[in-house]
Chains A and B, each alone.
Chain A
Amino acid sequence: MMALAAFQARILFRGRSTIVAAAVFAVAAGLATVLGLGSFRQVGLGAVGPAAAAIVNLAILLPTAQAILLGALALTGDRENGFAAMLRARGIGSGGLVLTTWWSVTAAAWLSLGAGFGLAALVIAGTVPLEDLPTFAALFAVMLVVAAAAAAIGVLVGALAATRLQAALGAVAVWFTLAIGLDLLVLGLGAFVHFGEAAILGAAAVDPLTSGRLAALLLLDADGGVLGPTGQYLVSRLGSPGAVLALVCVVAAWVALPIIAAIRITDRRDS
């Protein structure tokens, strides 16, 4: 399985889409940071400002889109091309196929995050106090977990899809729903008002991207309106560190559950 994981990662890293995605995220994160330098406190650490929010949102949107799409296409592509069948005949089980695909896609998304956060770190290196470094590292770590969850969701979409076209359309639909659609739905329906606590907790649990975004904002000491009703509720009930921990646990569950589901689905279908 290690040989397959290394193989999958190598071909993804050689792929143009991985390099382009990493470059796009790096440029976007770098630009957001440079623009934020106009106001030192807006750079992103120690306080929430437009630049911090921009970097968090970029990290929530771009690498996750990359991970969901790549995850869905990689698994379906291998099945459509007959490569999965060849590997299975050589003893790679459903678990091996799903886990190696997830791992390589996660690594590709992490490359993007590394490029983006790395460039941002270079830009702010001379101006941000050293004590902000742990916050920056924690923010980066949360984004890594969110990207891993997105890759797992993408792999699940790939396991469910019959063709690459279905996989691509499904991935885009899922990403849109998680990144934007659920927020719009909740706002549009006024669900928090109608359903109270259950809706607030549900909103945090069903969307790893929102959970990741809230955890990141909490790490940046955000409060009040920036957090929204879900974040405010969690902080009031659990305190800020407890809320971050709960949200990270939600995102981690979104890594494990889609992978388990994808393995079961792959196990029950023909290669």
Chain B
Amino acid sequence: MLACSPINDEDYFEPEKTNSYALDAYQGNTGFQLDSSYSIDDTLIQEINLESNDGNSTANIVGIYVGDISKININKVIVYCHDKSKNIDYYWPRIKLLAKTGLEEHGIFIIDYRGYGKSEGKPNENGFYADINTAIVWLEEQGLTGERLIMYGYGLGSAVAVELTESPRSLTPAKIILEAPIASFESLIQDTTLQSTPSSYLSDLDFNNVDKMKNITQPLMWIHGTEDKIYDINSQGQFLYDQHTGVVNTDKFSRLIEGASHVNIPQKFDNGLEGYVFEVLTFITND
């Protein structure tokens, strides 16, 4: 159907720039709403500025650490690799949800990739990997060790979580959580063209999680909505999950959320948001 019509790689990223993060005051649609019981004490929200080099250019990138920085040397930390659109503000409700797992014992670090939010530069695939690795290096400097590092990849961010779990450039993560992940950009293109079109015909993007997942031995939690129209649950999520060689319900766990789209998965858990928090907490605390 679409044998050869190029995809503008830069268009595939959908960053939203900002001069300052609104967080709770963000007015955009974030997929679901949280009540005041999910609010986080301001003292536990720290904006972190880092310098990241992707091999071609250096960019000042910005992230937000949620938790007690002085406890990074003893706490577990979830590194949140967000999806391809918007910026930290859009994902803030998701960070607050993860904070419900207990900020006494867990921290969460979300970073805007280059070109997103307050981060400088232009988005690119290598930049995604470099920027999150820069964040991990910073966490290591604060005392984090690999056995307390959990990678969380949402949407296209799954590619970053998978890459840095399979081929760590600093700390080796202990666990990985993937929410609505992509299998690979090539498979996405072939789903669209119906043919075995090489992705190089249409795009320079790779985001190949499939081959990397085969080498990941860390426990995996996969969450996907049955109505996801961005990354199809079967051809993308399930196919990727199947590549993990671990034993089901021992090394890898799946939560298929009936009726959930790409953006409202936590809300659609059986017990709603609390169900999502419980499932994630169970996965990150079970050793």
Does chain A bind chain B?
A: no
Q: Which residues of B contact A (CB under 8 A)?
A: none
